Structure 1
Amino acid sequence: MPASMTPRGALEEVNAFHDELVFADEAEPATLGLTRAAWRVLVVDDDADVHSTTTFALGNVEMQGRPLSFLHAYSASEAFELLRREPDVAVLLLDVVMESSDAGLSLVRRIREELGLRDLRIILRTGQPGYAPEMEAIRGYDINDYRTKSELTRTKLYTAVAAAIRSYQQIRALDDNRLGLERVVAASAELMALHGLRDVALGILNQVGLLLGQPAEGLLCVRETGHAHPDILRTVAAVGACRHLDGRELNVARGGPLAAAVERTLLNRRCAIGDGLLSLYFPGKAGRDFVACVPLERELDEHENRLLQVFAGMVTISLDNVELVTHLNQAAFHDPLTGLPNRTRLVELIDATLALPTRAQAILALVDLDHFAETNDALGHHFGDLLLVAVGRRLQSKLDPGLHVARIGGDIFCVLGEAGAVQPAPIQALFREPFHIDGQDVQVSATLGLVRLGEHDGAGADALKDADIALKRAKSQQRAGHFYFSRSMGVEIRERVRMMHALRGGFQRNQLFLAYQPQVDLLSNRPFGAEALLRWRTEDGRLVPPDRFIPIAEYSGLIVDIGEWVLRQACAELMRLRAAGHTAFTMSVNVSQVQFRHPHFLDMLRRALDDTGAPPEFIELEITESMAMEEPALLVEKLAQVKRTGVSIAIDDFGTGFSSLSHLQRLQVDRLKIDRAFVTEITGSARGSSIAEMVIQLGRNLGLSVIAEGVEDERQAQILRQLGCPLAQGFLYSRPLSPEDLLAWLADRALHQAA
């Protein structure tokens, strides 16, 4: 301080302007939760009178709604140590010249660089204008103001400090906002990583505690509204002293002030603070609104209020996401009709069971409702859905609670658990009592397919497939309504699947071909036609027997495409034979049940005839006797349509089924084929001879042609002639021939006939 400016002179100069000070109310309007902490001002000067005059001038004023609090240091080194201990000082009133001419500026540099106090506002004061800092120093060290002590009247001192405090407040607000938003973003990220509504609810309460700087306390509840839900509050999660409310219905009697605060928040649909409680409102979707209610340990400032509003908005998104994930999880792993675990969830449960040491004692059972499709068709799908729900409830309520009950699709349920509780008899006994649906009593039975998991080697999906195999076997064999899977069944089905894929590939690679077995007139031995027989030769030259691959083709549906190809090939071969002069030759083609029942069979037949030009009167279609006996009314109409194309119809394997003569009379068929089993027995069994004779006589009476297949020796042919059978085919005349060999065989027979 210069000699010309004594401490007493400085004090007098400050007092001289006392009347010029205007106490303007610059404080912002008080808001809920606004604190009254004082602004801290550090006075650094080696003159004690400067400290006292400064305190006297500013001691009773408020700035930005808060009072001032003063700290004092009498040297740069003392100020540096004080700021190291007290970093939350708002304004520094600093003398430039103290123990040295640059002590003030050196302190400024250390404050900014060593202590890193960037928010602190600095006002330099000097009694020696010649020691004023350069402009570069003011800019470089972020000095808020520079004044000579003679300039600092009380009004100007107030103005300088007020400006510095406003600047400090704005800088701190920006920093607080940045840090607060970083905390909110971090909290939101942590919430996003949680799974399940309860975990997210606990996470929200923990994050609110962290944002407020207090232990996690309070509860988060949900209100469900709508036709399907009662309008009640339920606590999703509660922590701290509220833990006793966790998972319970929330009402004023049980929750007291917290419940009342939650009700008010839901009514007003916005966040609120009152009675020492913070209520955060999270609007949900589909009528589910959430509220977090947290007891406060202190009042909140405006900055914290704003941060909590931002946090509430981000939490709403998190809750929406977890609700969506919960809904998707429900849809992905549960049956929407019954609420039971679906196939996907069941496979997970089976996998978990297979991983347990007790897997040997576990059984998986598929429960298939018998004739459910007929019930559904007769009484309607709504009735069927109600029946499925009732079955699911009965299985859940009547079986051991430790069992897993699932619905894996259609009318098939599943029971998984300990072997002693998963037994066919008790499960089937549940279906003895009728189900009461829509005022009607419905009696339902069930068939079971079971797998002992201790004998199973694969994963859960494989066990489910094995149970399905056992169920199909139980359905086909009807053995007491249930069947246990065995390893031999697995080998059989895997072989069938392997052959199915091989057959599909073989068909695409032209490994299938037709062989033609001639048919002859028994009296004249003249050939009049041939039967087209399907054959399959694999790449290694091996012939696969038709009785092995044709059932698989029928089971897989591949027979429809193969059958159309066979029909076209046979028609084309007939045209080649006619071109060679065999114009009265008939081509007989086998038609499978699957192919015949296909809705486009007639179209396929007409296309084959039109595209090849084959005359329909020389094409004969063979259907089996079992086909002819199923659904007689439909078959009569279908055969009538086929007959209108001009082709003829033969019933193959006649005598092996149980044909109704009255039904046979209604069918528009042209020929009966005596099954080879009766032809084989014709020479050694009176029964074989009598059946063959009966078929021949039946054909004669109905005006139908009759042909015996499987004729292998002359003795059989002679007996058939004696019985009056007009036609035959078999090894006695020829094995099945290739197209070229058939032409050669016909030519050779013509030569012999001419001779």
Structure 2
Amino acid sequence: MLFIALPLATLCCLILFVIFGYASYIVLRDDLNEKIEQTADINARVLATPFWYLDVDNIESALNAMSRDRDIVAVRALGADGTEFARTGASQAELGDTLRLSRRVYFERNNVRHDVGELVIYFTEARVRELLWRRIVIDLILFGLLIAVVAASLLIANQRSIKEPLSRLLHSIRMTKHGRLRRPVEWNSDDELGLLIREYNEMVTLQGQAQEEAQRKQALLEATLHNIGQGICLFDQDLNLMVWNERYIELLNLPRDLVKEGTPLSDILRFNGERGEYGEVSIPALISDRVAIARRREPYRMERTRPNGRVVQVDHNPMPGGGYVATYTDITERKQTEARMRHLAVHDVLTSLPNRTLFLDRLRQALLSARRFQRGVTVLFVDLDRFKDINDHFGHDVGDLMIQEMGQRLSRIIRDSDTAARLGGDEFAIIQTDVQNIEDTIVLAQRIIDELAHPFDCRGIRLHSTASIGITLFPEDGDNPEQLVKNADMAMYAAKAEGRNNYRFFLPSMHERVKERKTIEEDLRNALEHDQLELFYQPKVDCLSEKVVGAEALVRWNHPERGLILPGDFISVAEECGLINKLGAWVLREACKQTQIWRENGMPELRMAVNLSPAQFQDADLLRTVTRTIETTKLPHGTLELEITESILMNNPEKAVSTLKELKKLGVGIAIDDFGTGYSSLNYLKRFPVTSIKIDRSFVNDINVDQDDKAIVDAVIGLGHSLHLAVVAEGVEQVEQLQYLQNKGCDFIQGFLFSRPLPVRDFEEWVRDRRENHAAPPLSTSIPNDHD
């Protein structure tokens, strides 16, 4: 009976062994395929946004995480056109016998689904076969052992020596069957039962290793989910929460006791609604609507602004078997950047005022409104006077601070309905709307001029500036923005030409004046290149002895078509177009050269006076230019005198003192020209290393009839002498004026009473005549007035 039962039992066990082995293979293979497909599906959704923005770093990070799975051989990320832009794992040549699974990656934007690429996973069934063969070997061993045990049991059923180990083995098998691995069965023997238990223990060890590997992969997947920058949640077909990461909790500020496996979506919606996440809404209606949206079978994207101001982008992607995966991305910084870019596109970076583009757009809107309601519109073009000199002298940092404060001042002056803009450089413009009468515009223009009377404080540097303002009216001066701005610009140049620090309304005749000014600018550039400039010299005479002691160099322009042009007709143009420094350097060089020629040819030892413009004085190369000129012409110390105005000194007194001291070291005298017409401080005046002051001709003209002028002249002479400065009177044209100045102790005289400015040859002849006949009476007062 035993010999019949044992073969039958063996045959049955063998059949069961084959069936179980094949079933195990199918289960292992299906588990592998399901795991790979799940990995592909989740990562295809997670990588949609990185694919769209070509965020290679995030893509490679995700690929590396997937490639840590021992069953995955390689992972590739392909673009929509099939181009590979990220890869990890084995090379292409090593993928011959691997299996391939791909998923298309879709990105939802503005309710349009975009195919952005493909995720390809290469995997192998090697571990399936390995595990299967191990199981077969183990099962064969177990089968053999089981047969042996059965046989032994049948043969020596009465032997109690096999009962205890078999009981232990059976108990361990049952525990393993229910998924609870126990410690190895403790039994030591050298017989067949001992061998069976040892093989069983090895099987238990292998299964434990497999379980640890599965746990490690699960931990790796969780680490990936919790370390990506996006919040992720997955709800099943019943809309219960199944998967989430830390970023999801952080972005939505959800309590941890709410976020747990199995939490219904409705509970999360109710919590958000009760804390005002969606504003004032009916919570039941909210839940109903949101649940209906969550059950939609098409992907969608929405942006959600949380109560704390953060903007979150939500990407909803339904899953094939029901439920959905949602990713939450914090796009606050991106939104802020986009807002800043939109702002910068139509605003000035330095002042935050509207730029030219926005200004013209608002002007168009203002004109449309004005036409509709029959109201007036005014455009004011504001330009800072001599800003280039300040920028060149103090640097662009100080200039930028001045521009910023100018923008702030204009913003304070105008009404909320008006617009102030920076058009570029030192040019600003204002749109004044709802203008009832022209006096409204005059008041605004005067307020701008008055505001600029206050100094600018730029990092401790007090700067003074004025503005020239051009004004155009709608509809009188134009019916479109471009024409109004162009006419306001011309009116502004007219204000500059008339002395700056004022405003002018546009007149049609300004077209011709602007054209004329442009012509002068071009001709002046040619004049510097083609030697059309010439220096005239006006003698400086000792007030008491009437002996010639020096001369002042004054530039003239011999225009080939217009004849002799005086400085008043082209110096302002040179300043505005940036030629003044080049012109001034030429005057300085030619005057010093001519002075040295006179000295070498036996002329009296005359001092040469040369005027410095504000731009020259603020030029960083002034000292080098003067030094090079003196060295080149070999002019002795004490021969050159530079004339500057009070306003130049007071624009930055501390810097002026430093510059004047350096000039004094070069042996250069300093004269303050037109003294009394500016706003110099006596406290600063005594600190300036000046050698003389010049009384402006406006005080000398009426010295015989105006008591105020007399008082000013007397005061200037007394002040100069008390400070040990020489005093020069300009514009002396009458003998009575000379006599008065002589009586008051004035040191030197300039004026038509002695001579007008003369060319080189005429000046030399005049000086020779004065030397030969020094006692000759002064010239007649009836001399044409062509003041320099």
| Alignment TM-score, normalising by the size of structure 1 | 0.48
| Alignment TM-score, normalising by the size of structure 2 | 0.46
